[in-house]
Amino acid sequence: MNIKNMFTALVLGLIALSSNHSQGSTADSAYQGAQLIVILFECILIALPTTAFLLVIWSRWKHLRFKQLLQTVLNSSLVLMLISMLAVNQLTLDFSSWLIVFAIGHTLLVGISYLLLKQHTNRVKSSLTGCW
């Protein structure tokens, strides 16, 4: 599943969450459904920074094109994380301090990865111009 399809599914899920259709269910099952969705978003909020951290460490030994693609994925994951935080905030009207710590950590990781990519790009450019 590519990023565009994942983003579309997330947006449709958020639209479905914000609609007020009950479909004949009881209040308890609606509450349980909301709790399951909150747990899903919280898992996303924990999994994104952890996976991104491992990928950034692993990309240390990879080539420049891989790092550029990884930076694109990290930027998308940051947007996905912010959307997930908004969804958790809308559903629970608060979020734990751990989620805020993970969000700040992920934002810093994306920024550091961008700086490392820029440094690698500059090294490649200078080595290529040094050959001429």
What is the spatial distance between Cα 8 and Cα 14, in angstroms, rounded to a whole number? Answer: 10
Q: For the segment 72-130, what is each residue's pLDDT rounded down to a tens digit? A: 888 888 888 888 888 777 777 776 777 788 888 888 988 888 988 898 888 888 877 76
Whole-model pTM? 0.64
What is the spatial distance between Cα 103 and Cα 5, in angstroms, rounded to a whole number? Answer: 23
